Structure 1
Amino acid sequence: MTTTPTTASTAPVAARATDVWKVYGAGEAQVVALHGVSVELERGRFTAVMGPSGSGKSTLMHCLAGLDSVSRGRVHIGDTEVTGLSDAGLTRLRRDSVGFIFQQFNLLPTLTAEENILLPLAIAGRKPDKQWYDTVVGTVGLGDRLRHRPHQLSGGQQQRVACARALVARPEVIFADEPTGNLDSRAGTEILGFLRDSVRDFGQTIVLVTHDPNAASYADRVVFLADGHVVDEMRQPSSEAVLDRLKGLDVVRHTGTGATP
């Protein structure tokens, strides 16, 4: 059954899924990862996507970001419909409109921090905006690490390089998939604070997939998934409120007493 789009705000939309289904396999091996998901993610906001393991949160992010195709439905980034784009169109979209931050930092080991940050612009044949580049580097605190290669940086510093790389091209939206998963609590807190500040100070749009209620508490809004459905959302979340909601989703999932949205 199709869910109703979660649109409790009149803010412009940065990314949108409309009746999105994602099915893997066929026959007895078929797995339905997303069941008619409709959700709008607001521009200039920090949205966290949460749910139990297997709820479809990473699948939704991959479909929204053009990293995976949908089985049915439509996906938009800004005014661009992602579904139906050619391979070349998807490449341009991911290069020009979307930024990525992953749990694995995905830095090239032979490049310096500065070269890793500027890599997306170099691939696109674009010159950096010097003022914006300096702002990004200063914000993530990498001014004295730009000539270092990844192996010379701590995990937190490597993730800050990845954050700067995602921001430097000024994408429509940045998707962050468990970006603090490989970091200690202090480094993780620094990264989450940076992401929150990039929304507040620069108007960036962040979509964070996480299992961590504390990480979700940095967001403006949390969207909850369970068994491939959007089942709830929360504004101005606290870690305690998010944890309580997740516990409720787990209880419903394990007892099978919840109604399908």
Structure 2
Amino acid sequence: MTTTPYGVQTAARTAAVAARATDLTKVYGQGETQVVALDHVSVEFRQAEFTAIMGPSGSGKSTLMHCVAGLDTVSSGSARIGETELTSLKDKQLTRLRRDKVGFIFQAFNLLPTLNALENITLPMDIAGRKPDRQWLDQVIETVGLSGRLKHRPTELSGGQQQRVAVARAVAGKPEIIFADEPTGNLDSRSGAEILGFLRNSVRALGQTIVMVTHDPVAAAYADRVIFLADGRIVDELREPTADSVLDRMLRISGGTTAAPVSAATSRTR
């Protein structure tokens, strides 16, 4: 049993790990312009779990996600997806790993305007030369509510529908882990709730693993667990979050409460 800087008691939890960072540091620039975006961060993201990453602007939350997802290099330390060490991979190997094992959802929908919804969903699999599991694909499409819009191009879809396409694209290939960076940032509250509800259900019913960066306490409340960053360090963790408990924790962190960094790698709130 351990206690976080804000008095949250935690206990060790054993589970398979989908991704992890160990003593990870990311530095941008040199000399007087040097910025330490991540400062010796260690954290694990367990399989079949929904984790939200939160923190004030500039805290390093997006940098952490990008490094663990293999979208950015690390300055020192380790980043792994499953048992694969990302820092040891060459560019082509890293590209293949991201294509085969990782799903991505971004605030910008990143859809190709010349392709219809179905073609956008299956594009990563088409590039990889893999045929989609038709039963699974149909289930994903039905779940995100796109059955009647598959022939429509992005310009013929609303913002919420475009993000549903992006979510379906991330899930359809059955990746080992999905990274989502502010996935509801461009959506109204109703569309955002529908997307978050689907992500939540994909974890509970389908065993998906999701890591989401967000600034929104309501969005974070859909997660199983929230980790909080400040100044490039993990300063707290919260399990079974509610919007109010997340907001309270964010206010303490943003208000300048002094906190020693903690490892979120093997802790669980009771």
Name segments (4+ residues, structure 1) moved above 3 Å: 257-261
Aligned AA for 1:241? S
Residue 187 of structure 1 is aligned with which of 165, 188, 191? Answer: 191
Residue pair 2:25, 2:39 contacting (<8 A) in 1 also: yes
Change (3 A) 1:58 1:179: same
Residue 147 of structure 2 is aligned with which of 143, 148, 158? Answer: 143
Query: How big is the shift at 1:8?
Result: 3.8
Considering Cα pairs closer than 8 Å and 6+ residues apart, tell me whether 1 or 2 has the greater RCO: 2
> What is the DSSP-based 3-state SS (H/G/I as helix, E as strand, rest coil) of the residue aligned with 1:247?
helix
Aligned AA for 2:238? M
Residue 47 of structure 1 is aligned with which of 26, 48, 51? Answer: 51
Query: How big is the shift at 1:228?
Result: 0.3
Aligned AA for 1:232? D
Which stretch has the larger CA shift, 74-83 or 57-66? 74-83
Query: How big is the shift at 1:23?
Result: 0.2
Task: Output the CA distance in 2 between the equivalents of 1:260 and 1:215.
Answer: 24
Query: How big is the shift at 1:259?
Result: 4.3
Listed as ranges, the matches of 1:13-52 within 5 Å are 13-52=17-56
The Cα offsets for residues 209-235 of structure 1, whole Å up to 9 and x where unpaired, read as 000000000000001110000111000
Instruction: Specify the alignment match of 1:76 in structure 2.
Output: 80
Task: Output the CA distance in 2 between the equivalents of 1:173 and 1:260.
Answer: 26
The Cα offsets for residues 115-173 of structure 1, whole Å up to 9 and x where unpaired, read as 00000000000111111111111111110000000010011100000000001111110
Aligned AA for 1:251? G
Task: Output the CA distance in 1 between the equivalents of 2:149 and 2:166.
Answer: 13
The Cα offsets for residues 63-95 of structure 1, whole Å up to 9 and x where unpaired, read as 000000000000110111111210011100110
Task: Output the CA distance in 2 between the equivalents of 1:92 and 1:109.
Answer: 24
Residue 94 of structure 1 is aligned with which of 88, 98, 101? Answer: 98
Q: What's the TM-score, normalizing by structure 1?
A: 0.95
Which stretch has the larger CA shift, 52-61 or 74-83? 74-83
Identity %: 69
Listed as ranges, the matches of 1:57-76 within 5 Å are 57-76=61-80
2:12 maps to 1:11: no
Task: Output the CA distance in 2 between the equivalents of 1:87 and 1:183.
Answer: 34
Paired residues in the alignment total 253
Residue pair 1:7, 1:40 contacting (<8 A) in 2 also: no
Instruction: Specify the alignment match of 2:6 in structure 1.
Output: none
RMSD: 1.2
Task: Output the CA distance in 2 between the equivalents of 1:208 and 1:35.
Answer: 20
Residue pair 1:16, 1:38 contacting (<8 A) in 2 also: yes
> What is the DSSP-based 3-state SS (H/G/I as helix, E as strand, rest coil) of the residue aligned with 1:193?
helix
Task: Output the CA distance in 2 between the equivalents of 1:41 and 1:8.
Answer: 14
Query: How big is the shift at 1:9?
Result: 2.0
Residue ranges of structure 1 left out of the alignment (5+ in a row): 1-5
Task: Output the CA distance in 2 between the equivalents of 1:97 and 1:198.
Answer: 16
Aligned AA for 2:225? R
Aligned AA for 2:168? A
Residue pair 2:226, 2:239 contacting (<8 A) in 1 also: yes
> What is the DSSP-based 3-state SS (H/G/I as helix, E as strand, rest coil) of the residue aligned with 1:176?
strand
> What is the DSSP-based 3-state SS (H/G/I as helix, E as strand, rest coil) of the residue aligned with 1:21?
strand
Change (3 A) 1:120 1:233: same
